Amino acid sequence: MTTTPLLDRVVYPSDLRTLAKSDLRQLCDELRSEVIDAVSCTGGHLGSGLGVVELTAAIHYVYDTPRDRLIFDVGHQCYPHKVLTGRRERIRTLRQKDGLSGFTKRSESPYDPFGAAHAATSISAALGMAVARDLKGEQDRNSPDDAATGGGAKNDDRRVIAVIGDGSMSAGMAYEAMNNAGDTGGQLTVILNDNEMSIAPPVGAMSAYLARAASSGSYQGFRNLAKQLTKRLPPRLRDMAGKAEEYGRAMVTGGGTLFEELGFYYVGPIDGHNLDHLLPVLENVKNITDRPVLVHVVTQKGKGYQLAQDKGDKLHAVSKFDVISGEEVKKTSNAPSYTGVFAGQLIEEAKKNERIVGITAAMPSGTGIDKFMKAFPDRTFDVGIAEQHAVTFAAGLAAEGMVPFCALYSTFLQRAYDSVVHDVALQNLPVRFAMDRAGLVGNDGATHAGAYDTAYLGCLPNMVLMACGDEAELQAMTRTAAEFDEHPIGFRFPRGEGMGVDMYAPEDVPLLEIGKGRIVAEGTKVCLLNFGGRLGECMKAADLLEARGLSTTVADARFAKPLDEDLIRRLAKEHEVLITVEEGSIGGFGSFVLEFLNRDGLLDAGALKVRTMHLPDIYQDQASPKEMYEEARLQAEHITEQALMAFGQAAATGTGNLRA
């Protein structure tokens, strides 16, 4: 083994393939150290990437990427992949403004053929690519990755590989895709990265030998010959012979009957950190082109970094941290997190009402349901990565008189929209939707932005929709949702810490009147009508406008549906300029207000100037939350600028004369 750093010699997978197999162990050690160091500087997903270092290197070593399509499910384990595919020099820009995405991204590299950040999409996408390859069946000289390999390669020569974690296998979409793939046939390799669910028996030399044997060309040839021979048997004996082969192989290889029933050829389980086991199996299954194959690989999350291995969550997602101690570098704040406030108040409500249950979809710590789980383990349900099931499950609970809180990230609730429409809203079942990470989320970027829920929930009959302006309001909205039993109700709150306002004592948390907002500051000329987490910026903008001589009202709508029509009517009549401010997409709160003003005739005279401020109609790339809101022009100076422009004055930094 050479002592020269091998990673310095590997820029692209083509460089990797020039190494001897005996050098790959050293390369993987260097790659693992590189990932640990990079994530310590940027934060991000650590444990999942460390667990697939050997698997990633082996795939790129055996397959001809990027011509062979490699798709990672979710993509949070792709940091080693990025290092090996020409992005090492930028790896310390992960999740930063103008830097590398924390997930795979098509526009970033030809080695990322499919962008992903939500779970269980990889097999569907891979099958689509495999079928496209088979349908085209022609030379594709226009493909940029074919040009890199000399051009003239045939599409039907391409391999397609999907790497999916066992957590994603809890999502129904993965099985829908596998069912379709088994029926479609053709080359497709799915690698099941089993790192948490312990669905495999112990792996070792014997299982590795059996996996190599089952995937080998000689066994494949024998199996095909046996199939041809059994075709000559009477139907009853033919079926018996087929089942004997299937169950016999399942018994010695450790399972796979479910995958076989879905039409896949099962290989495994094998040790995902042992290159002597991985490489020959991948080389064998690469040559299986007449049917889809599932390779069952067992890995250890956080592998190679003891501090990660010792952690219960294997340092799944981290902020910047010290490599030696493993301690995260966190900003100090006296304000509680919104997630923590929700969890604390839900626990208080559950103490009073034994019908309250908490539901989440594989995100207990991210949504605060882990705290609820500790207090009420029998009333907490983590359904796995299955948001659609989570919502309909909650609907069933509500139909029987329970009080279900379905706690999901806003971006993940999108996956369950049909269930929200058909199973909850249409039947007017009082499911409570706690939507964490509403608005922009910073380093996770466009894939995780909670931008759309106001628009896609606000259009539904029977839905009640709230958003908190500060953490004390979140206490009140959680209590209100717990006690409101007439319709489905959702409340959205941002990522991160609150504003530092005084919190209510448990016994003093108020019950909000449905559809009623509040006046936070009273003025006469400008009204800033806020919905959600921009309340603090509206308060700052009011101070800036007051300094310019424009008396400003700040109102907190609280509800997007039903709107507080009495309040909005009064604000429209008493002010010259009305500006709605929200951290959601176009088509949300501002649109609802405009619809009401138009319907009520308040726009007919033309005296009132109305402006709506919302997130831009683009997908915003990752950056810090502050940078993203600056790009979205939703900071205090931008709100001030909108008001001044409505009065025909210069921007906030200008010197235009104030209107009398």
For CA atoms 111, 116, 117, 122, give the dihedral sign.
negative
Reply yes or no: is the peptide bond before residue 202 cis, omega within 30 of 0.
no
- Backbone φ and ψ for 467, nearest 5 degrees, come out as -145, 135
Nearest in space to 638 (alpha carbons), one of 617, 610, 656, 612: 612
480-485-487-491 Cα dihedral, nearest 10 degrees = 20
Token readout for 418 is 């049909």
Q: What is the DSSP string of 444-459?
A: TGGGG-B-SHHHHHHT
167 is in an annotated binding site: yes
Question: What span, in angstroms and rounded, lies between the C-alpha atoms of 291 and 309?
Answer: 37
530 is in an annotated binding site: no
Catalytic residue chosen out of the listed positions 415, 432, 495, 558: 415
Looking at residue 139, the DSSP 8-state letter turns out to be B
Residues, the chain, total? Answer: 660
Say whether 204 sits in a helix, a strand or coil.
coil
| 89 assigned to active site | no
Looking at residue 90, the DSSP 8-state letter turns out to be G
End-to-end Cα separation, the chain, in angstroms: 81
Catalytic residue chosen out of the listed positions 349, 387, 582, 641: 387
Tokens 């499950």 -> residue: 393
| 387 assigned to active site | yes
Question: What span, in angstroms and rounded, lies between the C-alpha atoms of 225 and 273?
Answer: 34
Is 354 within 8 Å of 376 (Cβ atoms)? Answer: no
Helix axes 53-62, 275-285, angle to 10 degrees: 40
Catalytic residue chosen out of the listed positions 69, 87, 301, 314: 301
CA–chain centroid gap for 202, Å, is 31
387 is in an annotated binding site: yes
551 is in an annotated binding site: no
117 is in an annotated binding site: yes
For CA atoms 503, 505, 506, 512, give the dihedral sign.
negative
* CB proximity list for 177: less than 8 A, separation 6 or greater: 123, 124, 127
119 is in an annotated binding site: yes
> Pairing mode, if any, of strands 265-271 and 292-298?
parallel
> Amino acid identity of 539?
M
Question: What span, in angstroms and rounded, lies between the C-alpha atoms of 206 and 283?
Answer: 19
Q: Which helix (H) or strand (E) holds 519?
A: strand 518-521
247 is in an annotated binding site: no
Question: What span, in angstroms and rounded, lies between the C-alpha atoms of 583 and 37?
Answer: 34
| 415 assigned to active site | yes
Say whether 559 sits in a helix, a strand or coil.
strand
- Backbone φ and ψ for 283, nearest 5 degrees, come out as -65, -35
Binding residues for thiamine diphosphate: 76, 117-119, 167-168, 195, 305, 387
Binding residues for Mg(2+): 166, 195
Binding residues: 76, 117-119, 166-168, 195, 305, 387
Residues labelled as active-site residues:
301, 387, 415
